[in-house]
Structure 1
Amino acid sequence: MDIPSLWQELEGVLTPMLAGFRSKRSFWVEQKPDSTLLSEADEAVQEQIIKCVRAADPDGLIIGEEGVNGADALHGSGPSDRLWIIDPIDGTSQFVDRDGREFCSVVCLVENKIPVAAFVLAPEIGPDRGAVCISLSGKNEPILINGRRASGPSLSGQHHRASVTRSSGTNARPYESKLSAHGYQLKVRATSQTLDMVRTCIDIAPFTDPALESFGLFYRERQKVWDGAAGICMAYAAGLYVGDGAGRERTAIDIALDAAEPIFDSTLVASDAVAAQIVVEGSKR
């Protein structure tokens, strides 16, 4: 299977599609039971991604955020150890906000529970609201940004920022003050979890305007699989620590994927071992 060609096709199809929705004066948006947003664009983009994936891989299994999940979705047209995880628009609240920029379309390929390839298209974070495409085509392949090999997280400030987003209205967690004392600026407002994870794995600042600088740590509790799979995939490729709030290393997608909404209890990605330990210690109940 030609993964690079699939990623190229998705970039070519989705970039104008997302721009078309953004240029509309209005489209329908509703709130889901978990208080996140669902838009007309989410459903259309997911349908298009599924069409492209199915053409490249008729036998692979597919789950997606917008309704293509649960036991009935875990079927292809034949036996396969491949699973495609789709998030059509990660950061829908940013997408429906005319001033928002931090949203992306996400696809992750999992083989035998190991995420091995990922595609993240952020169509408006580049200069002049241009597109930035981050991709990984398989094991031992480099992470690419707009076709160029990505660099590791920027050393200037990577240990001064942490993405520890939480649901709106929730109280600060014990580790937040300790991370601040360790010298971290904390991002607690959620935009796109996938983009925050990517920023923990590689340096995308040179490709973005305004610059989206690197994080030294990403942590999220109750993370949906489509919000985390691609980021975990890139963290593995970047050689970063991947674990959970209990301090257990995560070496695979270790949750039941036939649930209606597969969720990680927590996800921790870090290049700073001290900061990771602060989160683990502060997450103990």
Structure 2
Amino acid sequence: MHPMLNIAIRAARNAGNVITRAYEDFDKVEAEQKGLNDFVTNVDRDAESAIIHAIRKAYPDHTVIGEEGGTDIGKDSDYQWIIDPLDGTSNFVKRIPHFAVSIALQVKGKLEVAVIYDPMRNELFSAVRGQGAQLNSQRIRVGAKREITGTLLGTGFPFKARQHTDSYMAIFGELFTEVADMRRAGSAALDLAYVACDRLDGFFEIGLKPWDFAAGELIVREAGGIVTDFNGGHGHMTTGNIVAGAPRVTAGIVSKMRPHLSEALKR
């Protein structure tokens, strides 16, 4: 096993243990609002601490970029761990058992290692650049759909960026007339993992952060999929506007959404 993947898996499982213990003893969970429609719990912070401890123990000089703790610049900034300790906090707070730990390693600007761990189902999605993607050590691939007709798509509402609501609803409506159905489950990391293992045919969302999708991006790509911005380019790391799926499904989604993009979403 790739040594850094091994550390990522260990860190993800440690965080998963923190989350599952808290889920079983829910009276001790404390939630607070950190921004518009954006919540954090003591479990997010404890899980992030568990991840950082595992990374720092193995690689004390690496940089860590976390959702809750911000950027901790190490001596070796070529190695950047991008982590979301609890993707799907709103689900967790409402005791909906659909959330995940997301960990990615970027080396000199390229994603090299990725892990998404669903502690409630004990499902571990992983990838190493150039070595394919796996679910619990079994190889996974994106679906073989060649058009968006009849597909099952995942999405996320722009609840933190409601200025894009009109554009989003227009895009949703355009796609909904073509696809079999759509899902909004509340964890972008798991949505991307599900694209990679053919539970979803495609996915799109507005305004994500790198820790929301970095691990999922590599897992989708290594499973044979494509990840782009809303223009079909590579600006998603900056904009957070992301489309993912099998190559022709991704192209079909981009084509359908293009006429409905506001000027802000075209950038």
Q: Which range, TM-score by smaller chain?
A: 0.7 to 0.9
In the alignment, structure 1 residue 88 sits paired with structure 2 residue 85: yes
Is the partner of 1:239 in helix, strand or coil?
A: coil
- 2:60 is aligned to 58
- 2:177 is aligned to 181
Q: How does 1:96-245 map to 2 (within 5 A)?
A: 96-98=93-95, 100-124=96-120, 126=121, 131-136=122-127, 138-153=128-143, 159-168=150-159, 170-171=165-166, 172-187=168-183, 189=184, 191-203=186-198, 214-245=199-230
Report the alpha carbon displacement of residue 117 of structure 1 after superposing the two structures with TM: 0.9
In the alignment, structure 1 residue 23 sits paired with structure 2 residue 36: no
For 1:173 and 1:15, locate their aligned partners in 2 and report how far apart those are by CA, in whole Å.
Answer: 34
Q: How does 1:61-80 map to 2 (within 5 A)?
A: 61-69=63-71, 73=72, 75-76=73-74, 78-80=75-77
Q: Is the alpha carbon distance of 1:266 and 1:25 closer, same or farther for their aligned partners in structure 2, counting shifts above 3 Å?
A: closer
8 Å contact kept, 1:85–1:229? yes
Q: TM-score, normalised by structure 2?
A: 0.84
Q: Which amino acid aligns with 2:254?
A: A
Report the alpha carbon displacement of residue 62 of structure 1 after superposing the two structures with TM: 0.8
Gaps of 5+ in 2: none
Report the alpha carbon displacement of residue 167 of structure 1 after superposing the two structures with TM: 3.0
Is the partner of 2:84 in helix, strand or coil?
A: strand
Gaps of 5+ in 1: 204-213, 256-263
Report the alpha carbon displacement of residue 235 of structure 1 after superposing the two structures with TM: 2.3
Q: Is the alpha carbon distance of 1:281 and 1:57 closer, same or farther for their aligned partners in structure 2, counting shifts above 3 Å?
A: farther
Report the alpha carbon displacement of residue 119 of structure 1 after superposing the two structures with TM: 0.9
For 2:257 and 2:22, locate their aligned partners in 1 and report how far apart those are by CA, in whole Å.
Answer: 39
For 2:134 and 2:240, locate their aligned partners in 1 and report how far apart those are by CA, in whole Å.
Answer: 29
Q: TM-score, normalised by structure 1?
A: 0.80
For 2:181 and 2:77, locate their aligned partners in 1 and report how far apart those are by CA, in whole Å.
Answer: 44
4+ runs deviating over 6 angstroms: none
For 2:202 and 2:138, locate their aligned partners in 1 and report how far apart those are by CA, in whole Å.
Answer: 24
Q: Is the alpha carbon distance of 1:12 and 1:174 closer, same or farther for their aligned partners in structure 2, counting shifts above 3 Å?
A: closer
Q: Is the alpha carbon distance of 1:48 and 1:180 closer, same or farther for their aligned partners in structure 2, counting shifts above 3 Å?
A: same
For 1:201 and 1:247, locate their aligned partners in 2 and report how far apart those are by CA, in whole Å.
Answer: 19
- 1:274 is aligned to 252
For 2:220 and 2:26, locate their aligned partners in 1 and report how far apart those are by CA, in whole Å.
Answer: 38
For 1:51 and 1:133, locate their aligned partners in 2 and report how far apart those are by CA, in whole Å.
Answer: 20
Report the alpha carbon displacement of residue 184 of structure 1 after superposing the two structures with TM: 3.7
Q: Is the alpha carbon distance of 1:12 and 1:179 closer, same or farther for their aligned partners in structure 2, counting shifts above 3 Å?
A: closer
Is the partner of 1:81 in helix, strand or coil?
A: strand
Q: Deviations over 1:4-48 (max 9, x none)?
A: 421342354233322211111422101111321100100000011
In terms of fraction of residues, the more helix-rich structure is 2
8 Å contact kept, 1:223–1:265? yes
Q: Is the alpha carbon distance of 1:85 and 1:4 closer, same or farther for their aligned partners in structure 2, counting shifts above 3 Å?
A: closer
Report the alpha carbon displacement of residue 111 of structure 1 after superposing the two structures with TM: 1.2
Identity %: 23
In terms of fraction of residues, the more strand-rich structure is 2
Q: Is the alpha carbon distance of 1:254 and 1:134 closer, same or farther for their aligned partners in structure 2, counting shifts above 3 Å?
A: closer
Q: CA RMSD in A?
A: 2.4
